[in-house]
Amino acid sequence: MVRNIWTLVLIVATVTLHVSSAKAQVPATVAATDGTKVATFQAEGAQIYECKVGSDGNLNWVFREPIATLLFNGKTVGRHYAGPTWEDMDGNAVTGKAVADAPGTTPNDIRLLKLDVVSHRGSGTLANVATVLRLNTHGGVAQGACDKAGTFLSVPYSATYVFLHKGDTRE
């Protein structure tokens, strides 16, 4: 019985280590090679799509905007919305522009992103952020046909956002 328990503990530890290493791996295309981490927030929300007529004349889901709550240790610390913009509870915000991407883990997961910050608002935690990474995405991909132009689709997603600034100043 004791041997079975230790075997189970070893298996759980091995699986946990494997899952942790897989999550920690960041594809080279979205990895930040310079910069110091300022903050890491979990996002829980939705990717919003609009049904539009494409250049081919067919109706397609077109990404419109994200709407998400930013969390740290289970507590709300901000929000994420169109821009793309990340805003903390004090109203400080950064807006980014995607410069690189990589596939999510499954076809249902939105892409991983590396974004350069193009504007700042306020002087708080996000004031000196230069890069934002979107990692560990789950969900968020529009699926199914859209039948009527102008309709919207909200697809739940979660992601980890890592905020970096250039240089080696401390967090």
Averaged pLDDT score across all residues of the chain: 85
Whether 56 is in a domain gets the answer: yes
Whether 41 is in a domain gets the answer: yes
Question: Sorting pLDDT into bands at 50, 70 and 90, what band is 170?
Answer: very low
Pairing of strands 36-53, 152-165: antiparallel
For residue 109, the enclosing domain spans 29-165
What is the average pLDDT across 129-137? 96
Question: Sorting pLDDT into bands at 50, 70 and 90, what band is 168?
Answer: low
What is the C-alpha to C-alpha distance for residues 147 and 171, in angstroms, rounded to an integer? 48
Whether 58 is in a domain gets the answer: yes
- The per-residue pLDDT for range 58-67, each reduced to its tens digit, is 999 999 999 9
Question: Sorting pLDDT into bands at 50, 70 and 90, what band is 16?
Answer: very low
- The per-residue pLDDT for range 47-106, each reduced to its tens digit, is 999 999 999 999 999 999 999 999 999 999 999 999 999 999 988 999 999 999 999 999
Whether 170 is in a domain gets the answer: no
pLDDT of 40 reads: 96
Query: Which residue reads 């503990």 in tokens?
Result: 9
Burial of 64 (0-12, 13-18, 19+ CB in 10 A): middle
Torsion-angle region of 7 (φ positive above 0: left; ψ -120 to 50: alpha; else: beta)? alpha
pTM, full prediction: 0.81
pLDDT: which is higher, 34 or 56: 56
Number of domains within the chain: 1
